[in-house]
Structure 1
Amino acid sequence: MKEKKEKANLVDDLSRKVLAEARAGGLTISCAESCTGGLLAGAITDIAGSSDVFAGGVISYSNRSKSMVLKVPKELIREHGAVSEECALAMARGAMDLFESDVACSVTGIAGPGGATPGKPVGLVWFALVSRSGGKTFAEFFKGNRRAIREMAVVFALTEMVAALKRARGVGHAG
């Protein structure tokens, strides 16, 4: 129970930092999620008053929704797969365009227990953070059950969002 509360506090603290950094920079944020299924947007919107900077989020769980809602080219998904750097980048750009936000984050991965393919094991998660001036991608490998992988992905995404928002307003990388 204590570990669960500590995780909840960490997610809450990181979400507050994301919102504080966005407010300090006068920036709006959005997200596109696949394997986290709305947990990232949920963490951010759990904080009262988040609507002043959180423009919105999309759960694009299927390849079809990635293409239809986020405008990820079907050819890109066919060529690289939904769990890829290219798809993560296209998802984040799609969210930024859809919500007209300043910064967007995307998460796409394999939370398991099934779904692994050669070269793409359970626990592989791709992230992208984009702004009008460019983008950054990350591949992480998390170990654990489905819930643990999804929770670790949210913590990683929030941590990188704080760093990206600091960079966007010229503060430097978060330590």
Structure 2
Amino acid sequence: MNPVAADVLRLLMVRGETLAVAESLTGGLVAAEITAVPGASKVFRGSVTAYATDLKRDVLGVDGALLAARGAVDPQVVAQMAAGVRMALGADWGLATTGVAGPEPQDGQPVGTVFVAVDGPFEGVSGEHAGGKVASLRLNGDRAEIRMESVRSVLTLLLKELTGEQAGNERAQDTEQNGGT
């Protein structure tokens, strides 16, 4: 069982809030980590694995012009995915992943380019939709390592929001990480 997923679910239960997930490169791995935790059904609404670009547009509401201009591997796309799954599944929090796990580059982005996002009721911001937080990652490793590090990263991003930890005041942060240990 993933300890970060367990912490996220425990905090969501305490707060009485729910979670939904939109996944691309992780292909359901985030949802699998969440549902491996006993009691996840109390807060986990569900997930959408939108591997195909048209599903990002048609199911999650990602702007079609943005997808046409930038491709699916983009920070604005992942932010819209998180907001879209939150709305579509009626959750307090939405998580999303998109990126290139390999073996080939995609949308002009090299292998290891990953964007993860969280959307939710951010404290100190008024309005029903307060916007999302995006992390830009440059991961090393093979396909499996990149995908698992993406799962860890998106769960950690939400955990930081739930605990009030701030990684700076930036909406997007660039990190260089090495997948696998």
Q: Give the TM-score normalised by the residue count of structure 1.
A: 0.86
The verdict on how the C-alpha distance between 1:96 and 1:66 changes in structure 2, with shifts beyond 3 A counting, is same
- Displacement of 1:173 in angstroms is 4.2
Q: Deviations over 1:37-81 (max 9, x none)?
A: 000011000112101111111100010111121111211101121
- Displacement of 1:117 in angstroms is 4.9
1:54 maps onto 2:44 in alignment? yes
- Specify the alignment match of 1:32 in structure 2: 22
1:1-175 matches, within 5 Å, as 12-118=2-108, 120-131=109-120, 132-167=129-164, 172-173=165-166
- Specify the alignment match of 1:4 in structure 2: none
Aligned equivalents of 1:93, 1:57: Cα separation in 2: 13
Aligned residues: 159
Contact 1:25-1:165 within 8 A present in 2 as well? no
- Displacement of 1:133 in angstroms is 2.7
SS across alignment from 2:73: coil
Aligned equivalents of 1:33, 1:68: Cα separation in 2: 14
Equivalent position amino acid for 2:102 in 1: G
SS across alignment from 1:98: helix
Aligned equivalents of 2:79, 2:29: Cα separation in 1: 19
SS across alignment from 1:71: coil
Contact 1:89-1:135 within 8 A present in 2 as well? yes
Contact 1:80-1:86 within 8 A present in 2 as well? no
- Displacement of 1:116 in angstroms is 3.7
Q: Give the TM-score normalised by the residue count of structure 2.
A: 0.83
Greater Cα shift, 150-159 or 72-81: 72-81
Q: Which structure 2 residue ranges, 5 or more long, are not aligned? A: 121-128, 168-181
Equivalent position amino acid for 2:89 in 1: F
Aligned sequence identity (%): 35
